Structure 1
């Protein structure tokens, strides 16, 4: 799972062609939910039970 997490931001960044600083990755340990945000807009959410 670690490798996948490292890969995802790069894939999203390259596909959007945005500056890395504008794309933020937030992970919640309690819900195990990962949100990719760009300009405060959620692009993708990943949930794990």
Structure 2
């Protein structure tokens, strides 16, 4: 019984370790995309004035 719990815990820990960097990387890409989009809009606003 203990062995099964440990095994599932190890699997969850592995999944967690792998999923966190992927999520962080995805988040970073999204944030960068949003910032780039805002900068483009601001530049357009400035150039139109």
TM-score clears 0.5:
no
Write 1 or 2 for the structure with the bigger share of strand.
1
Query: What TM-score does the superposition give when structure 2 sets the normalisation length?
Result: 0.32
Query: What TM-score does the superposition give when structure 1 sets the normalisation length?
Result: 0.32
Write 1 or 2 for the structure with the bigger share of helix.
2
Bigger relative CO (Cα 8 Å, ≥ 6 apart): 1
Give the number of the structure whose alpha-carbon radius of gyration is greater: 2
